[in-house]
Structure 1
């Protein structure tokens, strides 16, 4: 039964953590959440000698490093530094050596987050299945799943729910398990959504469709108001407007 003053909007379908920024992540049954976000999420990044972080785009902070999304990463319970997996899913014993050979770039290394956050914007990203289904319908010839958008949480909404439900969440808070998130703004998308990765070929139609159909935004971003743990199957319940 929904709590008084709470609006149940769905359940957690999948939980994603990306131990290395811009590298494929891991789907988890449960994730601990602290004030920074999902514990271990994007704590590491591939960094070059200029201090720029590997990405699918070029900007003041990022530099394009093609192929990162064909790799993946995971955290072991007894290890702080993530395990880097090659294109076949095999753990590599020397991450820095592998990256330099794979990227053909001798000045790259795995770097732990310092004073400047590795997050593009805010620590927790959320996407609903209704919105994801809209993308699939809009680009029927392009394989699409949530990996293109790299959310931390994919929320399954009830049948018949309209897309872009997330647009109404900024300024509100939600309870998920014993975690409380505060939604801040929509997530502005970039060319990363077009990039190829395992079973998902490159397609410029993805970003073009989001730009034309929804002002280049998809999903929502949040901060952590109360830490805890989030588990697949947890109810996502929005607090009433006057609860903040």
Structure 2
């Protein structure tokens, strides 16, 4: 059964910053190659985020920045782009000034994963379109929810169709297989301002009111390969 097609592919080289849109991406058991491989880390070992937890420290403003790998070279540290989209010369030095914190640095993933939850996040256009209608007057696109894949679903597909995918394994293109496990519990990150997306408290309130704070489908990669925009997404046969 066909669920849809890959509309857009997103990778976030430095966790909690804006990402880069890709035409294709290699995928292994960790997820998209290079995704969230780096993070902004403080002296206590906590990672920059939109929330405060045992693992994460709230660092407002990170989403106004973007990150990308120069010339798709995953062997080098990613570039950090300022709010105007200009690459900075030294990411750590820039962040210390930008965040007004001298204890932060851009750090590559070590023993502690940079992922909040699972390796791959998938969002449907059905859910995204519903949010745009419900939040009329508030700019909304998938960047607020930071999925790796936006899936173009057929006309008439209901919002939150991702719930129906949980527990199933899908094939993306010819090789990649993903088993969907659960959905993400959303936090204030979805309200934060990004280029072209102003701050709005209504985004999280709407998700909380209508869908118990949950949005997307999170999965584990069960077969590696390459994903390309336009690839079909089908339920894998047993």
| Superposition TM-score, scaled by structure 1 size | 0.94
Corresponding residue for residue 47 of structure 2? 53
Corresponding residue for residue 22 of structure 1? 16
Corresponding residue for residue 4 of structure 1? none
Q: 3-state SS of the aligned residue for 2:177? A: strand
Q: Give the gaps of 5 or more residues in structure 2.
A: none
- Runs of 4 or more, structure 1, over 2 Å off, are 76-80
Corresponding residue for residue 197 of structure 2? 200
Does structure 1 residue 115 correspond to structure 2 residue 93?
no
Corresponding residue for residue 136 of structure 1? 132
Q: Give the gaps of 5 or more residues in structure 1.
A: 1-6
What is the deviation of 1:59? Answer: 1.1
Does structure 1 residue 185 correspond to structure 2 residue 179?
no
Between the aligned partners of 1:60 and 1:208, the Cα distance in structure 2 is 24
Match of 1:227 among 221, 224, 228: 224
What is the deviation of 1:168? Answer: 1.1
Does structure 1 residue 100 correspond to structure 2 residue 100?
no
Q: 3-state SS of the aligned residue for 1:41? A: coil
CA offset digits 1:12-63 (Å, max 9, x no partner): 0000000000000000000000110000000000011011110111111111
CA offset digits 1:111-150 (Å, max 9, x no partner): 1111111000001000000000111111112100000000
Does structure 1 residue 33 correspond to structure 2 residue 42?
no
CA offset digits 1:74-99 (Å, max 9, x no partner): 01233421111111111111111111
The number of aligned residues is 235
Does structure 1 residue 238 correspond to structure 2 residue 238?
no
Q: 3-state SS of the aligned residue for 1:189? A: coil
Corresponding residue for residue 44 of structure 1? 38
Corresponding residue for residue 157 of structure 2? 161
Q: 3-state SS of the aligned residue for 2:183? A: strand
Match of 2:77 among 74, 81, 84: 81
What is the deviation of 1:169? Answer: 1.1
RMSD between superposed Cα atoms in Å: 0.9
| Superposition TM-score, scaled by structure 2 size | 0.97
Between the aligned partners of 1:71 and 1:171, the Cα distance in structure 2 is 35
